[in-house]
Amino acid sequence: MKCAVGGSHLRVFGRAIHAIARISDEFWLDPIEKGLALRSVNSSRSAYACVFFSSMFFQHYCSVTVSEVHQGERRLHFPCKLVMKSVLPIFRCLNTLERNVEKCNIYTNVNDCHVIFQLFCKHGRLNVK
């Protein structure tokens, strides 16, 4: 999966992360063809949250990367379980983030099992989380 969130939409994406953080300390990043879903269930399984971002929300969205296509003819579905402690600091201060970040790339790779958040800041700075 590879997607790019523009600066104006980054605040909305960050608010969704904050809302899901109230439900549980972990969430699922679920890329599908139509868009990206963020899902979370609390520990007692009494509350569920799902925020769906259509592919039109992103500047660029691809649910299957080139390396994943060449691994086989059938498409595999890879939702990623992430710990909120590792993702929430990226979107901690939404005002500063919106002011200083031009674009955020989010991508995964099946081979190395990582989700990478690249923040392209103004003045040519790049932060990788």
Rounded CA-CA distance 62/1 in Å is: 6
Answer CATH for 2-128 from 1.20.1560.10, 3.30.428.10, 3.70.10.10, 3.30.450.20: 3.70.10.10
Rounded CA-CA distance 83/66 in Å is: 27
> Could you state, in order of their start, the residue ranges of all structural domains in the chain?
2-128
Tens-place pLDDT, residues 12-31: 999 999 999 999 999 999 99
Q: Which of the residues in the chain have pLDDT under 50?
A: 68, 73
Q: Are 38 and 81 spatial neighbours (Cβ–Cβ below 8 Å)?
A: no
Tens-place pLDDT, residues 44-58: 999 999 999 999 999
